[in-house]
């Protein structure tokens, strides 16, 4: 069992955060010693670490409270879970889509730039640089054949989906 200062240190948060999580009902009320000191378990430490990880992933405390309804088997918080999860998936898909974009001239379709934030983005950026250097258009990129899958295929897929709703495409858009 841990006292609040020990738990705070173990979870790399401050004591006020733990008290706030209790107030927001993210943490169950702890047991107390005869002297009134809060006592926390390993499960409380894991729960705080879970909450912090969800915050890092962009979940709000309100969303985390709802998700913890599953863990706590709270029927009220789980009532609209499908709608909640569907909405969150849509938000994440939009964020992912925003990480890779191509910019082209509206009249000619000539590639003007690419914005890529991803692991191994250098390969895609290199392919985009060559496409810009040699004056390729969105249609040129759509028609490009790669004999094997590479990260640069991402540029082709971005071109293929330039004017389409990517949510309606299969994973094998090309």
Tell how far CA 105 is from the center of its chain: 31
Q: Indicate if the alpha-carbon torsion angle 141, 147, 152, 157 is positive or negative.
A: positive
Note if the pTM is more than 0.75: no
Residues 106 and 69 in one domain: no
Residues 54 and 79 in one domain: yes
Would you say residue 172 lies in a domain? no
Output the domain CATH number for residue 65: 1.10.1660.10
Residues 14 and 80 in one domain: yes
Q: Over its length of 174 residues, how does the chain's per-residue pLDDT go in tens digits?
A: 999 999 999 999 999 999 999 999 999 999 999 999 999 999 999 999 999 999 998 889 999 998 898 888 888 887 888 888 888 888 887 777 777 788 899 999 999 998 888 777 787 888 889 999 999 998 888 887 565 556 666 667 777 777 776 566 555 444
Residue written as token pair 């009320």:
29
């Amino acid at each position: 069992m841990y006292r609040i200062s020990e738990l705070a240190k173990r979870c790399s948060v401050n004591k006020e955060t733990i008290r706030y999580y209790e107030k927001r009902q993210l943490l169950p009320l702890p047991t107390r010693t005869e002297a009134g000191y809060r006592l926390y378990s390993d499960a409380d430490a894991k729960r705080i670490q879970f909450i912090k990880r969800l915050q890092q992933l962009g979940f709000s405390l309100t969303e985390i409270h709802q998700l913890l309804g599953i863990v706590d088997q709270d029927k009220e918080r789980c009532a609209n879970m499908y709608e909640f999860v569907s909405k969150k998936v849509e938000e994440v898909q939009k964020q992912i889509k925003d990480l890779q974009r191509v910019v082209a001239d509206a009249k000619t379709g000539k590639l003007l730039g690419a914005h890529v934030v991803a692991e191994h983005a250098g390969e895609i950026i290199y392919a985009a640089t060559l496409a810009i250097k040699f004056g390729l258009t969105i249609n040129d990129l759509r028609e490009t054949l790669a004999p094997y899958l590479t990260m640069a295929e991402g540029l082709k897929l971005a071109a293929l989906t330039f004017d389409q709703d990517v949510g309606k495409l299969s994973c094998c858009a090309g």
